[in-house]
Amino acid sequence: MKILVAEDDAVSRTILKRAVEKLGHECLVAEDGRSAWETFCAQPCVDVIISDWMMPDVDGLELCRMIREEERGARGRAYTYFIFLTALGDRDHLLMGLEAGADDYLSKPLDRDELGMRLISADRVTELHRKLAFQNDELENLNRMLFEQSRQDPLTRLGNRLRMREDLEVLQSRAERYGHDYAVVLCDVDFFKAYNDRYGHLAGDDALQKVSQTISASLRGGDTAYRYGGEEFLIVLPEQSVEMAVGIADRLRHTVEDLGIPHESNPPGNVVTISAGVAAFSSAGAPDDLLKEADAALYAAKRAGRNRVST
């Protein structure tokens, strides 16, 4: 273990350091509370602090409180086992020390066997803390992973409806509060049922991946595509008017068509195409109203012959 000894008395300090090193530990020393604190802060990890009580400036009690405070605040700081040095008959100090967050105490004058045993128990406790911290990290990683997975569509790797909802809520409140408008484009692959019937479901999956990749690759930084449903994608365009969104949607429509994925039942070009409906934020509506509007526009695009953009 890495052990920091804080002791203002030079003789006691040397004796303690020798004893600690003889037990096979690494020993850092500080001649008062302040320099102990500085050493502690400069080290990524100190397993044990053995601290005298009476020291000039920052005493042992204050040092102990500072350490515990630091552990509560700083993320990733490992637990430091704190042992007070107490002179015989120092019961009140001992109680105050334990209350301040000390784990254990050592009585003065130093008993080497006692020191050895106290450090064994320190090792047990710090080991437990390390394991707990490790498991906590693992749990946090798992949580992050689950959070991401629950918001991502596995086939296209686009955000799913849940992520879309959350993002739209944020955009909506920004639009309402600060007047940052946004537009949405609802895209739908044309005659996709027929595509599956003709080429098979796996080829259908493949086409959806290609279309979604092409769409997200064609978007600018702030714009986002989501998988809205089966063969439907929603594109969210912050700070865009309807007119600009129509321009973007039409460009996307062309890009998908240019992929040239054969689709015999989609005349006249006989390649996979999309239709799109565009709607923009209006101060009156909620995200749902906007989606309804985009859906109605999409329906109009389908009725007008597909492979086109409507508002």
Q: Is 190 in the site for ligand GH3 (CB under 6 A)?
A: yes
Among 127, 137, 205, 289, binds ligand GH3 (CB under 6 A): 205
| Helix, strand, coil shares, percent, the chain, to 5 | 55, 20, 30
Q: Residue 52 binds which entry of Mg ion, ligand GH3, none, with Cβ cut-offs from 5 to 8 Å by kind? A: Mg ion
Q: Is 192 in the site for ligand GH3 (CB under 6 A)?
A: yes
Distance between CA atoms of residues 299 and 297, nearest Å: 5
Q: Residue 208 binds which entry of Mg ion, ligand GH3, none, with Cβ cut-offs from 5 to 8 Å by kind? A: ligand GH3
Site for Mg ion in 18-37 (CB under 5 A): none
Catalytic residue among 21, 31, 99, 231: 231
Among 105, 192, 226, 281, binds Mg ion (CB under 5 A): 192
Q: Which stretch binds ligand GH3 (CB under 6 A): 50-58, 132-140, 170-178, 201-209?
A: 201-209
**Closest separation in Å from C-beta 56 to Mg ion:** 8
Among 18, 124, 193, 251, binds ligand GH3 (CB under 6 A): 193
Task: Kindly tell me which of 208 and 237 has the beta carbon lying closer to ligand GH3.
Answer: 208
Q: Residue 8 binds which entry of Mg ion, ligand GH3, none, with Cβ cut-offs from 5 to 8 Å by kind? A: Mg ion
Q: Which stretch binds Mg ion (CB under 5 A): 177-185, 188-196, 204-212, 242-250?
A: 188-196
The residues near 180 (Cβ < 8 Å, ≥ 6 apart) are 171, 174, 238, 239
Q: Is 264 in the site for ligand GH3 (CB under 6 A)?
A: no
Element spanning 104, H or E: strand 104-108
Q: Which residues pair with 227 in a beta bridge?
A: 233
Residue type, 70: E
Q: Is 215 in the site for ligand GH3 (CB under 6 A)?
A: no
Q: Is 8 in the site for Mg ion (CB under 5 A)?
A: yes
**Closest separation in Å from C-beta 193 to ligand GH3:** 3
Q: CA 176 from chain center: how many Å? A: 28
**Closest separation in Å from C-beta 207 to ligand GH3:** 7
Whether 231 is catalytic:
yes
Instruction: Identify the CA nearest to 40 among candidates 96, 84, 79, 14.
Output: 79
Q: Is 196 in the site for ligand GH3 (CB under 6 A)?
A: yes
Task: Kindly tell me which of 70 and 232 has the beta carbon lying closer to ligand GH3.
Answer: 232
The residues near 109 (Cβ < 8 Å, ≥ 6 apart) are none
Instruction: Identify the CA nearest to 258 among candidates 269, 247, 246, 245.
Output: 269
- Please give the DSSP secondary-structure letter assigned to residue 286: -
Considering CB under 6 A, how many residues would be counted as binding ligand GH3? 17
Burial per residue of 104-136, b for 16 or more beta-carbon CB atoms within 10 angstroms, e otherwise: bbbebeeeeeebeebbeebeeebeebeeeeeee
Please report which residue ranges of 43-191 form alpha helices under DSSP H: 60-73, 91-100, 112-149, 161-178
Q: Which residues are catalytic?
A: 231
